[in-house]
Structure 1
């Protein structure tokens, strides 16, 4: 098996991270609730330097109310060229109300599941990082029967 001569990891620029966030619409938000850290999937949209999503009453909303410090992550694996990437955003979440919430109506932000989600949450991103990886996956190159 030959290993690539180039670096198997590339640091993404802030611009590349925002492009990837803007291209997708499904990610995971990590938040604090009491003494635990939770991770929940959300569909989202990007608006300026913010990540916007809708949620119903429940643990995500309560977590944001109790502690605004959150993280958000998206990732992809491209099996055709054996690369993967991940973007992580850290920031402050807040519930939008009134005109601020109505201003998000024109974003491509609709619930994927047919449940009522009247609460609009905005994560103002303070830190953004991303990496792209070349996947070695040595098991794909192993010959059956050989150690």
Structure 2
């Protein structure tokens, strides 16, 4: 965070890319955002980071699976404190592709879903843009 930023209640400060990546890495859950004919769709998933890639699991024939490779999507993580009117939010926009067993073994990861639904597809979002903002406490 820019230490020269003015620290006063309600001040909105941009977060640089490195800190955005750190916050993505510290977070376990975020939301995938994608465009649907009925309007934007936002779905929560748990994730792990591999470099700048965001990796999570999903099931076949879902809105998320249908969008992989078909266009751009977004991923957001945040932490908000309503009692202090403060927090931060990071938004990653980019493309997504499926990754398979050899890639997962090479990177020694396997994000575990929080639900008991069998999620057999592994998705990696490759961000082309990462932005973040922080609102300082009142």
TM range (shorter): 0.7 to 0.9
Name the residue aligned to 2:47.
44
TM-superposition CA deviations, 1:100-139 (whole Å, max 9, x none): 24445x3361010011111000001110000000255xxx
The correspondence for 1:96, drawn from 82, 99, 103, is: 99
Offset of residue 42 of structure 1: 0.7
Query: Which residues of structure 2 form unaligned runs of 5+?
Result: 1-6
Q: Which has the higher Rg, Structure 1 or Structure 2?
A: 1
Distance 1:17 1:94 in 2: 22
TM-superposition CA deviations, 1:13-37 (whole Å, max 9, x none): 1111001000011000111345643
Cα-Cα RMSD: 2.3
Distance 1:20 1:108 in 2: 20
TM-score, length basis structure 1: 0.78
Distance 1:9 1:26 in 2: 23
Name the residue aligned to 1:144.
none
**Number of matched residues?**
131
Find the residue that maps to 1:17 and give its secondary structure: helix
Higher helix fraction (1 or 2):
1
Does residue 60 in structure 1 map to residue 64 in structure 2?
Answer: yes
TM-score, length basis structure 2: 0.82
Offset of residue 6 of structure 1: 6.6
Q: Is the 8 A contact 1:33 1:62 kept in 2?
A: no
The correspondence for 2:18, drawn from 15, 20, 23, is: 15
